[in-house]
Amino acid sequence: MMQLDLTETHEMIRDTAREFAQNEVAPTAIERDIKGEFPADAVKKLGELGFLGMMVSPEWGGAGLDAVSYVIAMEEVSKVDASVGVIMSVNNSLVCWALETYGTDDQKERFLRPLATGEKLGAYCLSEPEAGSDATQQRTTATLNEDGSWSLNGTKNWITNGTSADVYLVYAQTDKEKGYKGISCFIVEKGMPGFTHGVKEDKLGIRSSDTCSLQFQDVRVPAENMLGPEGRGFNLAMETLNGGRIGIAAQALGIAQGAYEAALAYSKERKAFGKPISDLQAIQFKLADMATKISAARALVYRAASQKDKHERFVKEAAMAKLFASKTAVEVALEAVQVHGGYGYVREYKVERYLRDAKITEIYEGTSEIQHIVIARELMRENA
């Protein structure tokens, strides 16, 4: 495993993200979680800090930073509130990256620039009621009209930023006969006639992020809003998700780190049998296991980000990072609740939220089962 030396820029990014998370996000995290309230103010400030277009070239309004900077910021934000973390992840990893990689100059000017600066927010629309892990089974269709525009019809599920976004990347079948080779990607804007959303989902965790279903009924999308070549949507989606997994791995890492820090601090304050419970070997062993798993997860996350920065193949590394970091988040958060005892079961002590937030990292942007498949497939490819 590589050892990554952080630069002064990386340290500056960490300090900025940490200060922002502690001062702007933490004070309202519990209340927003209870109410399921979207963190509009925090998202606005994320944009002002340049954290919504971190890896986008300055030419298009972005910060021009590397993937390592991105995962550092993601960890710090998610350590305080994973809901804000996933909003940041979707905009950076799934929407901005896809637009910068596949978009025309006109699309970049119209959509990427305001997304990178935080003027607008993006959403990524791939999952459907009948197309979760098997994204080839897209039922949403796009029919070509005589004037060259496309008519979108269908439903998308589990869309992060669903009611709050301004720009949506929507995947649809443009040629059913070709199966997944007939899937294309479209840029849909909020307010287009026929485009509506369902009610916000009442979720177990990441409750202040905005998740809902989307409906498309004869939504007219101009020809110039197709992203990438016709029929290349599935490939575009999979390539985008490879990078997205690094962002979710960093989110999981942040959740684990936050839960560990809370457990460590509590163990020094709580007394039992006449001394702090941090003096008890049973608690010390828990903390030791938590810290070890987090260090291993961080190494995997940084490795995947570093390989992406070096333009090396990172499919396996991203899947490994997401698989291990998400598992670590769940395990560490569960132990953090245990360390807190009864207090770990109430909202005031935060760790119950870390546990609820952790679980989704094993599900979205590719379940843990899918990550196993991806890793195994890459191992077979490397050893063919």
Taking alpha carbons only, the member of 79, 78, 102, 98 closest to residue 88 is: 78
- Please report which helix (H) or strand (E) contains residue 343, including its range: none
Q: Which residues pair with 197 in a beta bridge?
A: 214
- Catalytic residue list contains 261: no
CA–CA gap between residue 347 and residue 350 (Å, rounded): 6
Taking alpha carbons only, the member of 69, 71, 50 closest to residue 249 is: 71
DSSP code of residue 219: E
Four-residue CA torsion sign, 136, 208, 359, 3:
positive
Radius of gyration of the chain (CA): 21
DSSP code of residue 355: H
Under 8 Å between Cβ of 351 and 337: yes
Chain centroid offset of residue 58 CA:
22
Under 8 Å between Cβ of 353 and 30: yes
CA–CA gap between residue 255 and residue 298 (Å, rounded): 12
Q: Which of 100, 335, 365, 378 is catalytic?
A: 365
First to last CA, the chain: 23
CA–CA gap between residue 52 and residue 56 (Å, rounded): 9
Taking alpha carbons only, the member of 172, 201, 209, 210 closest to residue 188 is: 172
Which residues are marked as active site? 365
